[in-house]
Amino acid sequence: MAKKLAATQSDSSSPSSSENLQGSTASQVPSKAKGESKKRKAPTQDEDNDEKPKLRNRATKKSKVEATQDGQTTFVAAKKATSTRVTAKDLDLAPLQERTQDSNLRVGAHVSTAGGVQNAIPNLLHIGANAFAMFLKNQRKWTNAPLDSKLATLFVDGCKKHNIDVGSCCLPHGSYLVNLAHPEETRKKQAYGSFLDDLTRCHTLGIKLYNFHPGNSNASTREDGIKNIAENINCAHKDPATGEVIPVLETMASLGNTIGGTFKDIADIIKLVENKDRIGVCIDTCHIFAAGYDVRTPEAYAATMQDFDNIIGLKYLKALHVNDSKALLQSCRDLHARIGTGYLGLRAFHNIVNDQRLHGLPMVLETPIDIMRDGKKVEDKAIWAREIKLLEKLVGMDVESEEFKTLEKDLYEEGLSERERVGDQVDRKKKKDAAEKVPRKKKSKKEAKKKFKENVDEEDEDEEEEE
């Protein structure tokens, strides 16, 4: 089942790495739970731990890793896939872009770990990433096989081999099921168990940052929810299995019962965390915009960052999710768009990448990369490869230059129809809700569950809009 990566030529600077890469065999892959129901509406680029491996691995097991003289590694698909449902990636893992060596930015994307955590490495090299996110286990399942120590070794050795400073450039994403704010004992225990397990996996893999959604107060008061989150973090800090891993709170798009839609929510959690050296924040650019924080102009950006500093403190900012937004400012909708094509626009990202305070922090793309090819929805990783280079190129670029204006205009036009489609939809829904004067009463369990799912489904949101 494993994506077998056979090193055909060892890199003399790190011989052990190639040996370990050679050692990847099917028997080392944790067995996948059979018969998992496919509840999801559509797979997205980063949610494929459970569903895509079977397809992908069939296609890629003959792929080879070839180290070239300059130490760069190329991935060559040696044999055409037999599956009819393969993606473009299956057929070609050669780097779409080389990793930039001299940029102040650490930009990357949320890559797949289908087939094992070690597969994050070829996937990030494929798109030329200098930072990355991944899921440490299936993000929609409570039960997961433990981290396989052999695969963990492959990951650690692979990072060394490719000069990937995993401690500072990797930001795994937590499970969507976990709600650390939950007051009920059994649910609390379950959520904490998954959280602790993820932090432990990070520590084993040499990862220092761990991003997660703070939670929701559907079943408690906001104050109690925030207290529960902080308590869980404090508890995890005291467990030696978590090493020095820093839990990173992600800013959220929604207000209401979602915790983390305001900077104050985040600050309130941090206030209750005892070990302040081991807590961080990740700004998701789409989320904060949807929650009402503007970053489109240099002035708006400066004001938002000042707010962040005043309320939370910039020293807690450990990472960013860089996504444009298909919905308007203060829409409270979590709808990621490709860089420059949404309502944030390219200027917002120019503001961000030219802020030297953010240089060195992992910036992770969670932008949609599904495209239609031959009547099928496939992932086009070239989109991320392009976006990484685009963000790097924006550093120091004059916004009055022809180059910037052309880029801005082209991306603005590329996103026009999608902005109109989604923006209109959101606007219509807002008006409809207002007309119906939906009472703000406590939601039923089913409604709350649906609402929570909406809040946590980032890329899946597109499907919600079809309703």
Q: Which residues bind Zn ion (CB under 5 A)?
A: 250, 284, 321
Does the active-site annotation cover 182? Answer: no
Does the active-site annotation cover 284? Answer: yes
Q: Least distance (Å) from Zn ion to the CB of residue 173?
A: 6
- Count CB atoms within 10 A of the CB of residue 308: 21
Q: Least distance (Å) from Zn ion to the CB of residue 171?
A: 10
Closer residue to Zn ion in complex, CB, 319/346 = 319
Cα gap 371→323, rounded to integer Å: 17
Does the active-site annotation cover 162? Answer: no
Q: Least distance (Å) from Zn ion to the CB of residue 292?
A: 17
Q: Least distance (Å) from Zn ion to the CB of residue 335?
A: 12
From the list 287, 333, 347, 419, the catalytic residue is: 287
**Which residues are paired to 378 by β-bridges?**
371
From the list 140, 237, 333, 347, the catalytic residue is: 140
From the list 50, 284, 379, 380, the catalytic residue is: 284
CA end-to-end distance (rounded Å), the chain: 37
Cα gap 183→232, rounded to integer Å: 11
Q: Least distance (Å) from Zn ion to the CB of residue 321?
A: 3
**Which residues are paired to 209 by β-bridges?**
246
73, 125 in Cβ contact below 8 A? Answer: yes
User: Cα torsion for 246, 141, 443, 289, to the nearest 10°?
Assistant: 50
From the list 176, 301, 316, 343, the catalytic residue is: 176
- Count CB atoms within 10 A of the CB of residue 275: 12
Helix/strand/coil (H/E/C) assignment for every residue in 142-164: CCCCCCCHHHHHHHHHHHHHCCC
From the list 336, 347, 350, 419, the catalytic residue is: 336
CB crowding 51-62: b at 16 or more within 10 Å, else e: bbbebbbbbbbb
DSSP run (H or E) holding 321: strand 317-322
Closer residue to Zn ion in complex, CB, 52/321 = 321
DSSP helix, strand, coil percent of the chain (3-state; round to 5): 45, 15, 45
Closer residue to Zn ion in complex, CB, 148/460 = 460
Q: Least distance (Å) from Zn ion to the CB of residue 456?
A: 7
Q: Least distance (Å) from Zn ion to the CB of residue 281?
A: 12
Does the active-site annotation cover 213? Answer: yes
Closer residue to Zn ion in complex, CB, 250/380 = 250
Q: Least distance (Å) from Zn ion to the CB of residue 165?
A: 22
Closer residue to Zn ion in complex, CB, 147/283 = 283
Half-sphere exposure for 179 (CA within 13 Å, toward CB): 26
Does the active-site annotation cover 366? Answer: yes
Cα gap 396→355, rounded to integer Å: 10
Closer residue to Zn ion in complex, CB, 29/252 = 252
Q: Tokens in use for 98?
A: 């080389």
Does the active-site annotation cover 350? Answer: no
- Count CB atoms within 10 A of the CB of residue 92: 14
Does the active-site annotation cover 223? Answer: no
Question: Which residue has its beta carbon closest to Zn ion?
Answer: 321
22, 53 in Cβ contact below 8 A? Answer: no
Closer residue to Zn ion in complex, CB, 24/323 = 323
Cα gap 298→352, rounded to integer Å: 9
From the list 11, 157, 198, 250, the catalytic residue is: 250
Does the active-site annotation cover 336? Answer: yes
Does the active-site annotation cover 176? Answer: yes
The dihedral built from the CA positions of residue 57, 60, 66 and 70, taken in this order, carries a sign that is negative
Does the active-site annotation cover 296? Answer: no
From the list 56, 162, 321, 333, the catalytic residue is: 321
Cβ neighbours of residue 7 closer than 8 Å, sequence gap 6 or more? 18, 19, 21, 22, 64, 65, 66, 67
Closer residue to Zn ion in complex, CB, 157/459 = 459
From the list 197, 334, 392, 457, the catalytic residue is: 334
Q: Tokens in use for 365?
A: 């793309």
Hey, is 80 helix, strand or coil? Answer: coil
Catalytic residue numbers?
A: 140, 173, 176, 213, 250, 284, 287, 321, 334, 336, 366
